[in-house]
Chains A and B, each alone.
Chain A
Amino acid sequence: MSEELLRTPFPERAGAALQDAFLQEALTIATTKFIDLRKEAFAGFPAGEALRDRARAIKEATLQHLDVHLERLADNVERLGGTVHWAATGEEAREIVLRLCRDRGVRMAVKSKSMATEEIDLNEALEHAGVTPVETDLGEYIIQLAHEKPSHIIAPAIHKTKGQVAELFSRELRGQFPADPEVLTGVARKALREKFLQADMGITGANFAVADTGTVVLVTNEGNGRMVTSLPRIHVALMGIEKVIPSMSDLVVFLAILARSATGQKLSSYTTLVRGPRRAGELEGPEEFHLILLDNGRARQIASTLREALYCLRCGACLNVCPVYRQIGGHAYGYTYPGPIGILLTAMLKGNRSVRELAHASSLCGACKDVCPVRIDIPRMLIELREHLDREKIAPWTERVVFRAFRRLLLSPTAFRLSARAGRLLQRPFVRQGRLRGLPLLFGRWTRTRDLPPVAARTFRERWKELR
């Protein structure tokens, strides 16, 4: 994400988002819809809860032997005629794609939606190398036209209203288009058809990769994934190493809960299973298939604090229910992956220092954990992350001093009692109709928008004497 954006402190980025009327309108509508659809989908699916447990167990077990599963996946992909590349970093992954483009004279690449490619800023690298990347997922297409970044894991243009999209299309695609989703989709489809036919390379992510069979699985809703994987002469799939699952029977478990969690669908409209390049006698498919296995900070978390974040299916359910995400949207977070899981993934990919502020962008309400298809305990991990920030002295020293002083207060009943008395004295000038308003310093952060009850004339402890 742009360094310029990150120079603004997170609270200010969040504040600006709160003031953005378009964003507020778009977010409320979309997240509410997602929440309702998910709820409905699981309400009508009694097996769902047990499948979520199964899915979690599969992820847990797979990570125990990740190396074995990855080797098997690689062997099977190569047996099918594909080429496997191992990328330790985002930069290595970009280099692999760019080299392929150079060697094969690629001038245009069509892409289906992929957060992994966002993670490594692939589009910028391609453009820089003279290759034109074209996003073909409608949401991604919209934000590419707008020169923006996705603000949601599965709904990248969630921050835009249909009115804004109509304006954008009218300007960028030269026309007069109404704010009618059906018309706008038709416009995009027409523009994209040509690109599919022109492109030399198709770039995708992978929702899953099945080790036993060497199958890369794409879950999409628009059919663009099929075009990207079958029309261009080269298909490159980029996946985080945690996306491997052992077998096709495991895939069934994940497919049953992924779309339900994401969009409330039983299955997405398209589930594309890709096994290597076109074989002799086949009528369609690419001549070459490349699978890039991306580490980029993942492997070192397998035995560490953020381990559970590696279970993530990227369904976006935790974003939709997060009270913070629902207010500020994805861009304010400042990194590729927004929302509660995004904070953890950012720590994983960019290090703990990058989430010094973000680690606190959660009220720890637990709604994310409740809806996560693999039950990632996000609130607990956020708390653990905060613990690391203290231990690694990344948390501001002022904060650490304040909390240590607070601890001393709580360890001494006498000091605690005295603090009530001190509070009563100090609060006097600020009592209005029995409530505190206009408090100074840190307390002002509360009283700017809310009243605070005053420290009671007699605390419970003081009243207990007569209750006894």
Chain B
Amino acid sequence: MAAPVRAALMITCLGDMFFPEVGVAMVRLLRGLGVEVDFPEGQTCCGMPLFNSGYHHDAALIAARTVKLFERAEHVVVPSGSCAWMVKTEYPGLLKHDPALRAAAESLARRTRELSQFLVEVLGVSRVDSKFEGKVTYHDSCHLLRGLGESTAPRALLRGVPGVELVELPGADQCCGFGGSFSVRLPEVSSAILDKKLANVEATGARCLVACDAGCLMQMGGGLTRRGSAVKAVHLAQVLAGEVSR
């Protein structure tokens, strides 16, 4: 029998502090698929907020630390397209001045995957043993869609869940208005973008809005509860682990 796949969880700062239930769902989901899950405890954040705001020297320090922390992991799984993008696309460039670190960053980039991509590409999963009842709709997170080029894996996985009826979200590929610090630098603009997104979401008649990024879920979920909507914003892992209550 082949050795089990071993994966380290990169929980992300938002995932750790605000959405621990997503991490828990991920652990159950992965273990259910026979993956040995590890959690390197020294992790904090990928540094993307610093990087995106132009604090590159600072982001490089975080990147160097993260690269070392995950040095021994066979696979690194991230429940957030943007953080996965940061590690995969930006770490090598940030650490380019130190050849050893750069090589380590390139290695980490190769071993790191966003959850849906890990499930489909590494584990070859097409359907998981879960259940759900009703309509869901899916929002393409910008970094997962345009940064990592992924739009099919999350949809395929959702369709594979017995009981899920996936309704396409009009303008699914349009930004939700989060954008990290953008959401507080220009809160009115960010909220105006969100309003259009949520109007589309509510028009689908879905009971759950699924995404693969803690940032988008914070933005869209925060908007949905504020307007007293019946639609619930959930992470893909929660649907796949069967942890979305009715």
> A residues bordering B, Cβ < 8 Å?
11, 14-15, 18, 323-324, 326-328, 359-367, 369-370, 383-390, 395, 399-400, 403-404, 406-407, 409-413, 416, 420, 423, 435, 437, 442-443, 445-446, 448-456, 458-464, 467-468
Shortest beta-carbon distance, A28 to chain B, in Å? 8
**Which of the segments B52-60, B105-113, B120-128 contacts the partner chain?**
B52-60
B203-244: which have CB < 8 Å to A?
A: 218-219, 221-223, 225-226
Interchain CB contact under 8 A, B11 and A451: no
Which residues of chain A are within 8 angstroms of B20 by Cβ–Cβ distance? 456, 458-460, 462-463
A-B Cβ contacts below 8 A, count: 191
Question: Contact between A416 and B44 (Cβ–Cβ < 8 Å)?
Answer: yes
Complex CA gap A404/B58 in Å reads: 7
**Cα distance A348–B64 when bound, in Å?**
33
Contact residue among A360, A400, A453 (Cβ-Cβ distance under 8 Å from B19) = A453
Q: Once the chains bind, are A328 and B189 in contact (CB under 8 Å)?
A: yes
Asked if A367 and B218 sit within 8 Å, CB to CB, the answer is no
Query: Which B residue sits closest to A437, measured CB to CB?
Result: B226
Q: Would you call A455 and B179 a contact (CB within 8 A)?
A: no
Contacts A370-B146, A404-B58, A407-B50 known; 6 new A-B pairs at CB < 8 A? A327-B189, A359-B54, A360-B181, A363-B182, A364-B52, A383-B51
Q: B186 contacts A407, CB within 8 Å? A: no
Decide if A413 touches B43 in the complex (CB within 8 Å): yes
User: Which of B70-78, B129-137, B158-166, B191-199 lies on the face that meets chain A?
Assistant: B191-199
Q: Is there contact, CB below 8 Å, between A459 and B191?
A: no
Provide the bound-state CA to CA distance between A412 and B191, in Å: 33
Q: Determine the chain B residues whose CB is within 8 A of the CB of A460 once the complex forms.
A: 11, 15-16, 19-20, 23-24
B17 pairs with A459, CB closer than 8 A: yes
B15: which A residues are within 8 A, CB to CB? 460
Tell me the B residues contacting A by CB distance below 8 Å. Answer: 11, 13, 15-21, 23-24, 27, 39, 41-45, 47, 49-56, 58, 61-62, 65, 142-143, 146-147, 173-175, 177-194, 218-219, 221-223, 225-226
A366-B147, A460-B20 known; A407+B221 contact, CB < 8 A: no
* Given contacts A367-B175, A460-B15, A362 and B62 within 8 Å (CB-CB): no
* Bound CA–CA A460/B78 (angstroms): 14
Secondary structure of the A side of the interface?
A: helix
User: Contact check: which of A369, A395, A464 meets B54 at CB < 8 Å?
Assistant: A395
Contact of A450 among B143, B189, B223 (CB under 8 A): B223
Residues of A within 8 A of B185 (CB): 11, 360
Kindly list the 9 A-B residue pairs having the minimum CB-CB distance in the complex, ordered from nearest: A363-B179, A386-B54, A450-B222, A365-B175, A366-B146, A460-B20, A460-B23, A449-B191, A387-B54
Given A390-B55, A410-B45, A463-B20, do A360 and B186 touch, yes or no (CB 8 Å)?
A: yes
Q: Is B53 a contact partner of A455 (Cβ separation < 8 A)?
A: no
- Give chain A nearest CB distance to B138 CB in angstroms: 17
In contact, B179 and A386 (Cβ under 8 angstroms)? no
Give every chain B residue within 8 A of A412 (Cβ-Cβ): 44
Contact of B182 among A360, A370, A404 (CB under 8 A): A360
Known contacts A11-B186, A366-B146, A407 near B55 by CB under 8 Å: yes
- Chain B residues with Cβ under 8 A from A409's Cβ? 44
A32 and chain B: residue at smallest CB distance: B171
Contact A364 B44 (CB under 8 A): no
Q: Which residue of chain A has its CB nearest to the CB of B174?
A: A323
B186 close to A366 (CB less than 8 A): no
Note all chain A residues with C-beta closer than 8 A to B225.
435, 451
A71 to B184: give the CA distance in the assembly, Å.
Answer: 49
Distance in angstroms from B42 CB to nearest chain A CB is 5
Complex CA–CA separation, A413 to B68 (angstroms): 14
- Asked whether B49 lies within 8 Å of A453 as measured between CB atoms, the reply is no
For this complex, 11 residue pairs linking A to B, each with C-beta atoms less than 8 Å apart, are A14-B186, A323-B175, A363-B177, A403-B58, A410-B50, A420-B16, A423-B17, A458-B20, A460-B16, A461-B41, A467-B24
State A435–B45 Cα separation when bound (angstroms): 23
Q: Looking at the assembled complex, report how far the CB atom of A170 sits from the nearest CB atom of chain B, in whole angstroms.
A: 32
Give the complex CA separation of A410 and B58 in angstroms. 10
